[in-house]
Amino acid sequence: MEIHIFRSATENLVEVCADQTTKIIELNKPKQRKVGKKLLTAKVNKDLGGGQLEGLKRNTKDILALPHEEYMEFLRDLRDILNYHKDYFLSKVTIYFNRVTQQDIEK
Amino acid sequence: METINNIEACINANLIEKGSLGKFIFRDNANQWFIFYKKGNVFEIEYLKYGFWRHFKTIFTDRRQIYEAQDIFYGGTSGKFDDTLLKLFDILQRIGRRTPKNEFRFFNKAEYMWDLYALPFSIDSLRELQSTLLNSTEISDDQINKGALVTHGIFISVNCVGRVNPQSNAHPNGDGLSRREVRSRLSSFELARREDGSPLAVEKVLVKLPSRIM
CB contact under 8 A, A95 and B136: yes
Give the pLDDT score at B117. 93
Nearest CA in chain B to A104: B44
List the beta bridge partners of residue B26.
B34, B153
B66-108 pLDDT, tens digit per residue, is 998 888 888 877 777 888 889 999 999 999 999 887 889 999 8
CA B86-B109-B84 angle, 5° bins: 15
Closest-CA distance of chain B to residue A86, Å:
6
| pLDDT on residue A3 | 55
CA–CA gap between residue B198 and residue A14 (Å, rounded)? 35
pLDDT < 50 stretches in chain A: 31-63
- Residues of B within 8 A of A95 (CB-CB) are 133, 136, 138-139
Q: Shortest CB distance from A63 goes to which of B150, B173, B214?
A: B173
Does the beta carbon of B30 lie under 8 angstroms from any beta carbon of chain A? Answer: no
Q: What is the pLDDT of residues B13-31, one digit of tens each?
A: 888 888 999 999 999 888 8
Averaged pLDDT for residues B26-43: 90
Residue of A nearest to B17 (CA): A65
CB contact under 8 A, A90 and B122: yes
- Residue B179: the pLDDT is 46
Closest approach of chain B CAs to the CA of A24, in angstroms? 11
Nearest CA in chain A to B16: A65
% chain B with pLDDT above 90: 26
CA of B80, closest CA in chain A: separation in Å? 30
Would you give the distance in Å from CA A21 to the centre of its chain? 8
Residues B108-166: pLDDT tens digits?
A: 888 899 999 999 999 888 787 877 777 777 666 666 656 688 999 999 999 998 888 65
Q: Which of residues 171-190 of B touch A (CB under 8 A)?
A: 172-173, 175
- Tally Cβ neighbours within 10 Å of residue A39: 12
Length, in residues, of chain A: 107
Question: With contacts defined as CB-CB under 8 Å, which chain B residues touch A17?
Answer: 14-15
* Of residues A18 and B168, more confidently modeled: A18
pLDDT of residue B172: 47
Determine the Cα–Cα distance for residues A79 and B29; give it in Å rounded to an integer: 22
Q: Supply the pLDDT for residue B67.
A: 92
Determine, for residues A14 and B7 on separate chains, whether the beta-carbon distance falls below 8 Å: yes
Q: Is A5 on the interface with B (CB under 8 A)?
A: no
Name the residue among A11, A82, A83 with its Cβ closest to that of B6.
A11
Residue of A nearest to B121 (CA): A83
Rounded CA gap, B159 and B68, in Å?
11
Predicted local distance difference test score (pLDDT) of residue A4: 60
The CA distance from B128 to B151, in Å, is 11
Mutate to test the interface with B, among A12, A24, A75 (most CBs of B within 10 A): A75
Name the maximum alpha-carbon separation found in chain A.
65
pLDDT band at residue B213 under the 50/70/90 scheme: very low
ipTM above 0.85, yes or no: no
- Looking at the complex, does the CB of residue A82 fall below 8 Å from at least one CB of chain B? yes
DSSP character string of A15-76: HHHHHHHHHHHHHTSHHHHTT-HHHHHHHHHHHH-GGGHHHHHHTTTT--S--HHHHHHHHH
* Closest approach of B15 to chain A, Cα-based (Å): 5
pTM of the predicted model, to two decimals? Answer: 0.70
